[in-house]
Homo-oligomer: A and B are copies of this chain.
Amino acid sequence: MSAQPAPDREVPRARFRPPSVPQVDVHGFWGSRVDAVADKTADILYERCVEAGMLDQIDPDRPVPELRIPFMSMSPAAAADGKPLFTSGTVTTQMFWDSDLGKTIETAAYSLYRKPNPALEAKIDAVIDMYEKLQQPDGYLSSWYQRMQPGLRWTNLRDCHELYCAGHLIEGAVAYYQATGKRKLLDVMSRYADHIDSMFGPEPEKKKGYCGHEEIELALVKLARVTGNDRYMKLAKYFIDQRGQQPHYFDEEARARGSDPKNFHFKTYDYNQSHKPVREQDKVVGHAVRAMYLYSGMADIATEFGDDTLRVALDRLWDDLNSKSLYVTGGLGPSDKNEGFTSDYDLPNETAYAETCAAVALAFWANRMLGMGPNTRYADVMELALYNGSISGLSLDGSLFFYENPLESRGGHNRWKWHRCPCCPPNVGRMVASIGSYMYGVADGEIAVHLYGDADARLDIGGTEVRLKQQSRYPWDGAVGITVDLDKPTRFVLSLRIPGWCRKASLSVNGEAIDLAAVTADGYARIDREWKAGDTVSLDLELAVERLYAHPEVRPDAGRITLKRGPLVYCLEGIDNTVALNRIKVPGDTPFEARFEPDLLGGVVTLTAEAKDDSVAGWSGTLYRTEPPKSEPVPIKAVPYYAWDNREPGEMLVWLRGG
């Protein structure tokens, strides 16, 4: 971390890097989520990949499978039609399967660290052996282009996910190395990265391209960090810098294929954020996951290179997303047409696409914005996405998945076993299983605590191991205790996040109160002292039940409120309530009781109140009338949004009618 920057970059400020997953053991709220992934999801992901026929595609010892259903003909809407995937005749071949295996390997890696699982480890090792065997002598590695469409490599970066697949396999390789110490896939992917580096770059003989689906950028940063090979970092920066430059690579590439560049299914390069150079972009546009992955890569490069031109662009994009296009759940991308953004304030609730992957990827981006220094403006959103719109994508037991995460349902939206386009299940799996790495950021002389919750961390500050033991029932309770343990007294800054949603917080060190106003910057209380073993920090965050209102231009939320307590957004479910949810009105002065219910949904705090019901009494046989419905008292109960649809199917509503 104290290594000199490369000659072509300056580092004008502290760079914060997340700890690796093995450095943080989580318990409590996140511990049970991680256990669900380790106990169930990781195995399920592998098995579903096998059932989908992925191994038939990557294993060079098997016959090349039949090519079924070309990618472009398969709309996301068709993929999400809820039909069982694995009935005979419906199995499809996908050009992005390497990415699904990459994310499956990554999820398995974190899960193996969490809980040994020799059977799963052997299976993953076998997959890695297949990839090793598949890799060409020049380092190239793509099961699609080697086996399904040979001879076409590097001819359609715009549509075909070639570098995207490489990126996910790289992330899988890094995770597997960190969790198990096994280097095989890391070495394979380093060779492939070397090959990519030999194909793309500013040198005249190299291609000037980049991937239509961003991902390789952030993956190369991870690879650079774990291998120390700065060429990967520079290559990541090249892909970022080159995106959207003229002449447009996707135009030229299409012409080289003999295609008209205008013959692009998604019509505009907004779709893949190559409509203009990244530093000139000022609106979040196009496919939401692609956008978030791009901004994640940009944030990494801004951090690593101290690149303020990127930082300025990122802050513009951040403001745009957060002030106009983000669901209150941290979901994003309202439309199924482009799996992405539409127009300002267009946030429909029942038809929200809000893909699980997009909220996961927003957590990635926010986490990487924290690389440039602690700031609760980013951490608040990271926490929002983590606790709500991303983990809603995974059932409590780790076995079922949402692709879309609407904010209203009549009861027909339920988690599925799998998706034909199976990006979301391993994405939420790997995010949950690596949650420990989101909790902290470490820079020279500073440790930032971004998230609270029961956890044991072993962090490295200038070569000294700092062991932080957090004890907290967060997010159910706002009391957080942190015990510091280290071998010799060491001076460093411990920065503790005071969430933006918190109206009242108190902090003490070794029982001595700290004046928060005096030490807080960018929403982090910075305690700069020589820490010694046994030092204790007590932080108390008030968790009030808040009612949130949406900007008046958000059409479907007009006159409505949503309930939030701490980082958790709440919803009503039909099963907990006695009347149809849109009949319920919550007057402005309604008091809510927050109560922990240990036996409900794995243990959650529920919010209960007496609200008003638009009674159907007197309406029999009448559809419209001049008298308003009578208002009757009705008890209501809200549960955390992430936990909905874990009981029998029924209605769900996030935005309640206000009073």
Using a CB–CB distance below 8 Å, which chain A residues touch chain B? 319, 322-324, 326, 328, 410, 546-556, 558-559, 562, 580, 582-583, 585, 588, 613-616, 619-629, 657-658
Contact = CB atoms under 8 A, between A and B. Distances in A.
B614 A548 contact: no
Given A559-B559, A559-B657, A552 B616 contact: yes
A551 B626 contact: no
B616 A549 contact: no
The 6 nearest A-B residue pairs measured at CB: A552-B614, A558-B582, A555-B582, A552-B583, A548-B624, A323-B621
Given A559-B657, A614-B558, A624 B585 contact: no
Given A559-B559, A559-B657, A657-B559, A548 B625 contact: yes
A657 B558 contact: yes
Contact of A547 (B585, B622, B626): B626
B323 A622 contact: yes
Contacts of A562: 624
Given A558-B614, A622-B323, A657-B558, A628 B553 contact: no
Most chain B CB inside 10 Å of its own CB: which residue of A323, A324, A623: A623
Contacts of A554: 623
9 contacts: A322-B623, A323-B622, A549-B625, A552-B615, A552-B629, A553-B616, A558-B614, A562-B624, A588-B628
Contacts of A551: 616, 619, 622-624
A554 B580 CA distance: 10
- Oligomer copy total: 2
A14 to B, nearest CB: 27
A614 to B, nearest CB: 4
Contact of A623 (B326, B555, B628): B326
A549 B410 CA distance: 21
A658 B614 CA distance: 13
Given A549-B627, A549-B629, A580 B559 contact: no
A658 B558 CA distance: 11
Contacts of A658: 628
A582 B582 CA distance: 17
Contacts of A615: 552
Nearest to A550: B624
A631 to B, nearest CB: 10
A570 to B, nearest CB: 14
Contacts of A580: 552-553, 555
A410 B342 CA distance: 13
